[in-house]
Chain A
């Protein structure tokens, strides 16, 4: 055990003496959270929207007056065709279009319900959601007033269409994504680079000749990265709670337990790379191409999986970060318990076991 701790101490020297490693370990996660967070969560004021009023009746005028009064919108009245609206979206002139159909008031008074169409530019999903929710609350206001003036309760149903990005991926969704990315980065990439470095320097042989058991060498190499990952995880969670106002709805213990499982699977992936890679450079490239990119592109963090070609979807189901992303979203954002994520946990545990198994095997054959 004493040998083991001597080893871990040495690993910490390596980590804390290399400025580049330190930057990678602590700078990147913080920068990512801050960048994603502040780029995506600014409050929106004076957004240009276009209102097409085909009804021009009492009710539509009333709603439009309320929209104009709001500080969030900069209203431009026009009767544009659908193509014109589309064109205005493309040039980025407007963020949202509100269209009142010709029979708005008559529907409202005869059928007790009417529809208006709301089109939002969801290429910036946060802005789109925020704007539509501002509009919905204005419509709610209008309805409450109508009820309080003694008229029949009407319902105005805004029919919202999100252009360009129907999934509305944005701030709340990126935190789980960043978590998966950062843990993958630290565990898989840094570990594989650290081990390959020993191979490259020739120190690995000296270690293998020592009475230290090979599996202890490997565990000792991974322990610092495991600890640093947990530290990073804590930092990301603290930042998302205190800087991004994103509350953790579910159990923190569960979140950390699931994260530890994911960390172990990432460490196993890193080891797998380190067994095959001959230089630090190739270890770095391999982990970037085979781990970072898939984590970024195929976990559903940036692009919805449903929209991918089937082959890509299949690939995405093989990546542990896919399950981790789903789990973190469920626990952190939706406050769900273990009952609703046991399936993902099981798959992730299975993948981890397979990876560890492959590692043990290839470690044995390497010594033969």
Chain B
């Protein structure tokens, strides 16, 4: 059980009579890049919010980094990083101030902040932009910075909620290089997306339809199972049966 990063068992979230997440069950192994795909409104974000401790499940069980989502939300929070689909840096702060702030609220020491901050800037090749306001950075850079900031405290798991919305394929590819580096260093990556080319990059993918997980396997196995040549087609076959329309 040691190498299980996330475990969900019949996890369910209902809002009044609407079941956003319908008894989903899955395991995520440590160091894995786990993709969560689905149409808008399929329940991806809600599921992720539960795992991050932002929302309480209605029923079912789940552990994140070995901690229970009902009782140990505080411990979970210390062990995860999070990047939301909205842009999560402060535009009126400089690049370095953003790094310092996020590293600061995770309790990193001044020395660690300085060292890791310098390394991060160097890795992204924006050392000369340390004092630039984030507002004047191009979107692609901001997203890469955003991701790097989300893992600056070296969490066990990082949750990425549609991290690459609105950027070009080249930047997206660079972004995925960062994700691979994080995974290589042992960080488990849990990523939601609706870009099917990104689904191909994941170790394993789960496809959500109407709050349920209708398929879960490696991209190549899924393609074999549905007898198609791309994740795109896998997704179309599953999503056609969806009753909920996206918002």
Chain A interface residues toward B at CB < 8 A: 2-3, 5-7, 9-10, 13-14, 17-18, 201-203, 205-212, 367-368
Contact = CB atoms under 8 A, between A and B. Distances in A.
Interface of B: 52-56, 74, 77-78, 80, 82-93, 97, 100-102, 104-107, 150, 159
B74 A211 contact: yes
A206 B92 contact: no
A203 B82 contact: no
B105 A6 contact: yes
Given A10-B97, A211-B74, A206 B82 contact: yes
Contact of B97 (A13, A205, A208): A13
Nearest to B109: A2
Given A14-B90, A211-B78, A2 B107 contact: yes
Nearest to A206: B88
A209 B93 contact: no
A208 B88 CA distance: 12
A7 B92 CA distance: 14
A207 B77 CA distance: 10
A206 B77 CA distance: 11
9 contacts: A10-B101, A13-B90, A13-B97, A201-B87, A208-B54, A209-B54, A209-B77, A210-B82, A211-B74
A13 B93 contact: yes
A7 B101 contact: yes
Nearest to B89: A203
A13 B159 CA distance: 28
A201 B77 contact: no
B104 A2 contact: yes
A10 B93 contact: yes
A3 B100 CA distance: 11
A205 B150 CA distance: 12
Contacts of A206: 82-84, 88, 102, 150
Given A211-B107, A367-B55, A202 B82 contact: no
Contacts of A10: 90, 93, 97, 101
A202 B77 contact: no
Contacts of B56: 367-368
Q: Which 4 A-B pairs have the closest CB atoms?
A: A202-B86, A6-B104, A209-B82, A211-B77
B92 A212 contact: no
Contacts of B52: 209
Nearest to A201: B86
Given A3-B105, A209-B80, A14 B92 contact: yes
A211 B81 CA distance: 10
| Of A7, A18, A208, most B-chain CB atoms within 10 Å | A208
A88 B88 CA distance: 66
A201 B92 CA distance: 12
B77 A203 contact: no
Contacts of B100: 6
Nearest to B49: A205
Contacts of A210: 77, 82, 102, 105-106
A51 B86 CA distance: 74
A208 B49 CA distance: 11
Contact of A367 (B54, B97, B106, B150): B54
Contacts of B82: 205-206, 209-210
